[in-house]
Structure 1
Amino acid sequence: MSYKLKQESISSFSTATAADICTEFFAGKNKISGESIMALTEVRQVNSFIIESLFTQWQSEMARLRSPYFDFEAEEVQKALKEFMNTLSNHISIGRGHLEPLLTKAIEATILLTFSPKKYVLNHWLDEQKENLPKGKLRYIKTHTEGFKLIYDTAKTPINPAYLGNLFDSMTSHFKIPEPVEFLQKLNAEDKLSLLFEKEEAAEPAPSPVFTPEVNEPLEVKSTVAAKHGNGKETINDRFNGNTNAPTLAEKLQKNTAQPLEKTLTLNERIMFTKTLFEGDQALMTKVFEELDTANSMDEALSKTQPYNKKWDIEGDEMEAFIQVLRRRFN
């Protein structure tokens, strides 16, 4: 079964889905923090686009800071503004009325990027003069990342829609479209499948003739392992191949979730978190993860990080990786 995206339904689907997500999140809450935005949905691209909208708004407001009396371009001023931004990003606090439009817009962009990446490229990857690809866009792309990076690195100026479309067509193998049902499950919106997609029935090929070879009656199969060998002894291979008590993948995963959270980190994650999030303090990182081990939910874990995340860059790869570690435990 294949599905076709209903372009005309993207807006209505996104509006309805954003409302459902907000209703669930804001039940008993008045505001959402930056950390919670990073974990708002299981679709990383949606969360990333919300953050992009926030920082686009920030840049717009900062652009208005101009004065005939003060030099806002001075190096020290720029450094101070950056530090101020890092501090402010860890104190994001948004009510439902302001989050829901951002979430709706993020879902719309994510659907287009995920299921119609060429249209997304043509609609969102040309600047106003249609000559260059927008700077800074790649950091917010979490889907089809390899394909978008190739386009960004390969494109030559000047750029026009025809050139960009042809460039995309030459790289379609790097854009693998996911299954719609799996995507919608991550948004808890699988009940809206028919709203966003229409089924396309594939023509079934004519059945091939079946050839059934004549088979001689099998000899009596001896049931015991030892009986398979003339000397009556069980081999090492027999023992291991016949072992039915080996743990299943599900059992291994279940066992893994019972481990202390810090022990589930990969080497790269351990190095990244120690160096960036905990400023080289291994003992502090261990302390924080021990506190996270006592959490019973994603929200509780995020709240436990608040005393330590004052200098964390909410846009950084480290923060995103940290969120994914928590997802592995609590989702």
Structure 2
Amino acid sequence: MENNLNTSEIKAYCNTFCEKLTFSHFSHQPVITGKEILELSEIRQINLFVIRHLLAEWRKEASKIKSPYFNYEAPEVKDALKEFMNILSRQIAIREDDFFPLLQNATYDTILLIFSPYDYYMHLIHDPDKEELSLQELKRTAKYVKINSNLLQALIEKVEATGNQRISKEDAGHLLNEVFQNIQASPEDVDGYMTKFSTIEPLSETILYGTTADTYDDKQQVQQEEHFDEPTPIDHEEGNGESNNDAFQTLNDHHSSSQKPSIAEIHQRQKITSIRKHISINQRFMFINTLFEGDEESFNRTIDYLESCENKRSATSFLASEYPHWNEESEEVEEFMELLLKRLS
């Protein structure tokens, strides 16, 4: 299943790519903020992986402040820590030397995920810093994976089916092999990503595989024959001229499609009683900075109003009126509407 990636060349490529990308920002800014991270690269997966790595390091640092003399499981303490993390998430400011390794790791992971998803998920499973694979960590990672994400969802379902919250790396590897053997359809097309990478630093099949173009074509044919599900493509372009109400209604229809859902999707679509209580820290960060342009007051006011809505029509009409510039096909709007529809289903 592996594509025998040219690891040394890819790492060298990532270094050059990241040097150019960081220069484009830090040549005129001393730090990079959370909002700027989400907009740094045209390849959105890179930006999301930076946030993932950042929050992972943040959790490690946060765990170091715990003292054996205090009860960190007390509800008041947990609420205070959560609020503290929410406040910090709105104050991200990273200098170039600290940001560069985060961007390098994110770029390398993105290349693996696009050009050899099997390699990416195997690397995820065999993280040297962890002794076992955690179901919670897999679900946390899934929030940031937007390319070939169906593979991770299938792996999560298989881990859930074992009834365990943690499994060994060996068992997880066997489950991943089953995923690749059983999922049917093609991986995401790589040509568009080759072009996007190359706008910053030329990327070729020789860099990726250390082979000629002919051999690369053969590898692409083999990869196509592996047949795994292609995720629903997400277009980041602006709206297509529909009215705002129609746009939000189209999104509503998309989430209410008659396609048979997977086990994970069934759980994801279960009704919730509160939007606010089901917004994760990373979602809150993403919504405020991207959908509400950093305006926390506007975010809170909108959530309060939506919590009071009694049906989908009134909620979507409000959003179409107040935020006509939202791109209904963006990941942020998709996730926001997913929560709204769970609340009003």
Q: Give the TM-score category using the shorter length.
A: 0.5 to 0.7
1:326 is aligned to none
For these two proteins, the number of residue pairs brought into alignment is 245
Q: Percent identity?
A: 24
Structure 1: give runs of 5+ residues left out of the alignment. 205-252, 294-316, 323-331
Report if the CA contact (8 A) 1:5-1:196 is conserved.
Answer: yes
Q: CA deviation at 1:129?
A: 3.0
Q: CA deviation at 1:107?
A: 0.5
1:296 is aligned to none
C-alpha separation between the residues in 2 aligned to 1:168 and 1:125?
A: 14
Q: CA deviation at 1:6?
A: 2.6
AA aligned to 1:129 is E
Structure 2: give runs of 5+ residues left out of the alignment. 218-236, 256-274, 276-290, 293-297, 306-314, 337-345
Classify 1:53/1:68 alpha carbon distance in 2 versus 1 (closer, same or farther; 3 Å). same
Give the TM-score of the pair, scaled to structure 1: 0.60
| Helix, strand or coil at the partner of 1:141 | coil
AA aligned to 1:100 is F
Q: Does 1:176 align with 2:196?
A: no
2:178 is aligned to 167
Classify 1:284/1:264 alpha carbon distance in 2 versus 1 (closer, same or farther; 3 Å). closer
C-alpha separation between the residues in 1 aligned to 2:56 and 2:216?
A: 47
Question: Which deviations, in whole Å up to 9, do the C-alpha atoms of 1:281-313 show, x marking residues without a partner?
Answer: 5899789758x79xxxxxxxxxxxxxxxxxxxx
Q: Does 1:148 align with 2:126?
A: no
Q: Does 1:106 align with 2:110?
A: no
AA aligned to 1:176 is P
Report if the CA contact (8 A) 2:49-2:144 is conserved.
Answer: yes
Report if the CA contact (8 A) 1:40-1:47 is conserved.
Answer: yes
Question: Which deviations, in whole Å up to 9, do the C-alpha atoms of 1:121-148 show, x marking residues without a partner?
Answer: 2221246334655442212211111121
Classify 1:74/1:269 alpha carbon distance in 2 versus 1 (closer, same or farther; 3 Å). farther
Q: CA deviation at 1:174?
A: 5.1
| Helix, strand or coil at the partner of 1:103 | helix
Q: Does 1:199 align with 2:212?
A: yes
Report if the CA contact (8 A) 2:125-2:169 is conserved.
Answer: no
Q: Which has the larger radius of gyration?
A: 1
C-alpha separation between the residues in 2 aligned to 1:138 and 1:168?
A: 16
Q: CA deviation at 1:8?
A: 2.7
Mapping for residues 1-331 of structure 1, pairs under 5 Å? 5-126=5-126, 128-130=130-132, 132-133=134-135, 134-135=137-138, 136-155=140-159, 156=162, 157=167, 160=170, 163-171=174-182, 173=184, 176-179=187-190, 181-187=191-197, 188-189=199-200, 191-193=202-204, 194-197=206-209, 198-201=211-214, 256=240, 266-267=248-249, 278-281=302-305, 289=323, 318=332
C-alpha separation between the residues in 1 aligned to 2:168 and 2:238?
A: 53
Greater helix proportion: 2
AA aligned to 2:214 is E
Moved more, 128-137 or 106-115: 128-137
Report if the CA contact (8 A) 2:5-2:208 is conserved.
Answer: yes
Classify 1:23/1:137 alpha carbon distance in 2 versus 1 (closer, same or farther; 3 Å). same
Question: Which deviations, in whole Å up to 9, do the C-alpha atoms of 1:78-128 show, x marking residues without a partner?
Answer: 111111211211111112222111111100111112211112222212463
CA RMSD, 1 decimal: 4.0
